[in-house]
Amino acid sequence: MLDQSRYERDLGECDRVLARHPNHIAAWIMKAKALGQLRHFEESLHAWERVLERKPRNKEALWWRAWALDKLQRYSEAASAYYALLDVLPPDKQVSAWYYMAVCLANLRRWHDAITCYDRALSTNERYPSALIGKGRALIRIQRG
């Protein structure tokens, strides 16, 4: 409950700043984070998109935009958003993007594509337990047809 009131307070502050300065990037970022924490994913997505209008290669905004799409169960869009994130991340920082892209593809029952992404995550971290489990589940799904 304390966290919720903190995020609601943060939202109020962001709204006050944005009323005077509608292009204030830090306020949009803070607002997007607070909305996400309050599980207002559609509004959080909108706020992240406002950040990306001004800073299209902002890693944080790209990451959390993908996350919001995932939470909204817009898995195809989320997978594409995680893929776009790869353009701004160095190879050694891409493991989570590959993993979450795989999860989205698995949610779409695109098993072969999911396995490819799990493999990319595992190529960076061969002991990534969630990727190993996800790949195993996808392989079982393919076997069952």
CATH of domain 74-145: 1.25.40.10
Instruction: Please tell me the pTM assigned to this model.
Output: 0.91
Q: Tens digits of per-residue pLDDT, 24-80?
A: 999 999 999 999 999 999 999 999 999 999 999 999 999 999 999 999 999 999 999
Instruction: Give me the pLDDT at residue 22, please.
Output: 96
Domain edges within the chain = 1-72, 74-145
Burial class (CB within 10 angstroms; exposed 0-12, middle 13-18, buried 19+) of 31: buried
CATH of domain 1-72: 1.25.40.10
Instruction: Give me the pLDDT at residue 46, please.
Output: 98
DSSP the chain: -HHHHHHHHHHHHHHHHHHH-TT-HHHHHHHHHHHHHTT-HHHHHHHHHHHHHH-TT-HHHHHHHHHHHHHTT-HHHHHHHHHHHTTTS-GGG-HHHHHHHHHHHHHTT-HHHHHHHHHHHHHH-TT-HHHHHHHHHHHHHHHH-
Percentage of the chain beyond pLDDT 90 is 91
Please tell me if the domain spanning 1-72 has the same topology as the one spanning 74-145.
Answer: yes
Instruction: Give me the pLDDT at residue 4, please.
Output: 84
